[in-house]
Amino acid sequence: MTGSVPTHSFDAALASAAYRNALQVIGAVEPRVADAIGAELADQRASLKLIASENYASPAVLLTMGNWFSDKYAEGTVGHRFYAGCQNVDTVEGLAAEHARALFGAPYAYVQPHSGIDANVVAFWAVLAQRVELPSLEKAGVRHVNELTDDDWTTLRRALGDQRMLGMSLDAGGHLTHGFRPNISGKMFEQSSYGTDPSTGLLDYDAVRARAREFRPLILMAGYSAYPRRVNFATMREIADEVGATLVVDMAHFAGLVAGKVFSGDFDPVPHAHVVTSTSHKSLRGPRGGFVLAQPEFSDAVDRGCPMVLGGPLPHVMAAKAVAFAEARQPAFAEYAQAVVDNAVTLAEGLAKRGVTVVTGGTENHLVLLDVSSFGLTGRQAESALLDAGIVTNRNAVPSDPNGAWYTSGVRIGTPALTTRGFGADEFDRVAELIADVLGGTTPTTTSAGEPSKAKYTLADGLAGRTAAAAGELLAGYPLYPGLDVSGQ
């Protein structure tokens, strides 16, 4: 075993007692829920989790969410609520914002968003409010926002001056919330995309600049969910300034690498972006939720996220964000963040040397994107076959993907969760071997018409069982929440 990076630090006896007692209380009301909670812990302990957007929060973060703050409405901001009796909510929201500002070196932090999508929508409306004179819906000639048709959204966009957003394309690694039509962002803005160099899969900043000059967006969106490289945010800010755009960076995936100072200088979005959005989970290891960092000129507009976009904030989750941000300010988190990237590099190299196509030829962050078409597989087939063998991943489009966003030609994998468990270089090289074996031992089947299926497949005899057993051996050396016993025995 090679893993030596500090994982979650907690008192196992205290945490065990807390969870056992909690499950007993829950079980007295609805035992099936208590059973499901226990089963989820067992399943996560037994899973070789490689989903890049998942992680394991600490017992302290998890326990913080189960308390009386859940009962409290607190619309408004610290010291300016629309409900009485919010002094304790003010304390935890203030602490979460304080830790976030210190952690990321940001002048302003807003910790109320319930998710990354909420954080993005808060940011988008804040930019519109700051830079565009917004008409009322009535003046724009449309009905209630919940009843808007596509034609209504077109009318509203025109009333707003046909405001434009330029973001990374989905197949290049961008995200649905960066201006794509099925999402609210694509209804608010006229959208266009920039991609990657077809020969390398890397961002071509000259091409981004040329597209920005042609399209003249109000918002230049940066950030990604499946791009395995760093982004030069200093260059992106130069492009934004040149065309008069506001630079918004979605760092949901790599916030932990920013917090751990693995991404610094030109690759740290906070000094360069006007507004930064993020989730508090993923590589940051906090509770599920979102937050916004911004330069001072946008702070008042972002503060109006509730009621402009959000309903009542979730005080119990804001309290958990405060705990998670405090954890991330400790030196051990920087070691963890560096290990996440080191392990991803090892994983990518291990896959490449075993004949797996790695998009862009490697990685500089927490994720690795595989093109499985050389095995004759779709991403859906590969994802399912790996799951059969005890390896949890998710299918993902690759640049210019012929199979689209549902079947895809790729699989996205990431190292944050298993790094939290303590995996190091040897373990991730072994994981690469297991993945390559499964991909090589999977054969697509044909449809009733004799055409290759995009979903069905067969695994070589015994391969799933052998791989699952090998994965179990790896996991046994790095137990999840070691010493935590919720069985009551």
Q: What is the pLDDT of residue 179?
A: 67
What mean pLDDT is predicted for residues 255-264? 98
Beta-bridged to residue 222, according to DSSP, are: 249
In this prediction, residue 243 has a pLDDT band, given cuts at 50, 70 and 90, of very high
User: What is the crossing angle of helices 87-104 and 315-328, to 10°?
Assistant: 30
Q: What is the pLDDT of residue 489?
A: 46
Give the domain-ending residue among 299, 328, 357.
328
In a domain, 398, yes or no: yes
- Same domain? For 448 and 320 the reply is no
- Same domain? For 306 and 418 the reply is no
In this prediction, residue 147 has a pLDDT band, given cuts at 50, 70 and 90, of low
Residue 348 maps to which CATH number? 3.90.1150.10
Q: What is the pLDDT of residue 6?
A: 62
Q: What is the pLDDT of residue 170?
A: 81
Give the domain-ending residue among 328, 344, 363.
328
Of 263, 268, 208, 204, nearest in space to 233 by CA? 268
In a domain, 300, yes or no: yes
Q: Which residues are catalytic?
A: 73, 75, 250, 279, 282, 288
- Same domain? For 465 and 319 the reply is no
Q: What is the pLDDT of residue 187?
A: 74
Which tens digit of pLDDT belongs to each residue from 313-334? 999 999 999 999 999 999 999 9
User: Residue 466: which domain range?
Assistant: 331-476
Cα–Cα distances in angstroms (integers) from residue 115 to residues 20, 66, 118, in the given order? 29, 18, 5
- Same domain? For 204 and 349 the reply is no
What mean pLDDT is predicted for residues 161-188? 77
Whether the full predicted model's pTM is greater than 0.85, yes or no, is yes
In a domain, 377, yes or no: yes
Domain count, the chain: 2
Q: Mean pLDDT lowest for which of 86-100, 179-193, 315-329, 393-407?
A: 179-193
Distance of CA 219 to the CA centre of its chain: 21
How many whole angstroms separate alpha carbon 277 and alpha carbon 294? Answer: 8
In a domain, 239, yes or no: yes
In a domain, 482, yes or no: no
Q: What is the pLDDT of residue 100?
A: 98
- Same domain? For 463 and 324 the reply is no
Q: What is the pLDDT of residue 310?
A: 86
The answer to whether 289 and 114 are in contact (CB under 8 A) is yes
What mean pLDDT is predicted for residues 288-294? 97
Residue 196 maps to which CATH number? 3.40.640.10
Cα angle for residues 60, 61, 63 (degrees, 5° grid):
65
Alpha helices by DSSP H, listed for 281-415, are 299-303, 305-308, 315-328, 331-352, 379-388, 404-407
The answer to whether 153 and 191 are in contact (CB under 8 A) is no
Distance in angstroms between the alpha carbons of the first and the last residue of the chain: 29
- Same domain? For 451 and 471 the reply is yes
How many whole angstroms separate alpha carbon 110 and alpha carbon 112? Answer: 6
- Same domain? For 300 and 348 the reply is no
In a domain, 151, yes or no: no
What mean pLDDT is predicted for residues 415-428? 97
- Same domain? For 318 and 393 the reply is no
474, pLDDT greater than 60? yes
The answer to whether 223 and 178 are in contact (CB under 8 A) is yes
Give the domain-ending residue among 328, 359, 377.
328
- Same domain? For 117 and 243 the reply is yes
Which tens digit of pLDDT belongs to each residue from 100-146? 999 999 999 999 999 998 999 999 888 888 776 655 555 555 554 45
Ramachandran class of 390: left when φ > 0, alpha when ψ lies in -120 to 50, beta otherwise: left
- Same domain? For 205 and 236 the reply is yes
How many whole angstroms separate alpha carbon 347 and alpha carbon 433? Answer: 9
In a domain, 355, yes or no: yes
DSSP assignment, residue 280?
S
Q: What is the pLDDT of residue 432?
A: 98
- Same domain? For 95 and 240 the reply is yes
What lies within 8 Å, CB to CB, of 175 at 6+ separation is: 167, 168, 223, 224, 225, 250, 252
Which tens digit of pLDDT belongs to each residue from 189-228? 888 899 999 999 999 999 999 999 999 999 999 999 999 9
In a domain, 33, yes or no: no
How many whole angstroms separate alpha carbon 87 and alpha carbon 74? Answer: 10
Which tens digit of pLDDT belongs to each residue from 18-30? 999 999 999 999 9
How many whole angstroms separate alpha carbon 437 and alpha carbon 467? Answer: 8
Phi, psi at 468, each rounded to 5°: -60, -40
- Same domain? For 271 and 177 the reply is yes
User: What percent of the chain stands above pLDDT 70?
Assistant: 91
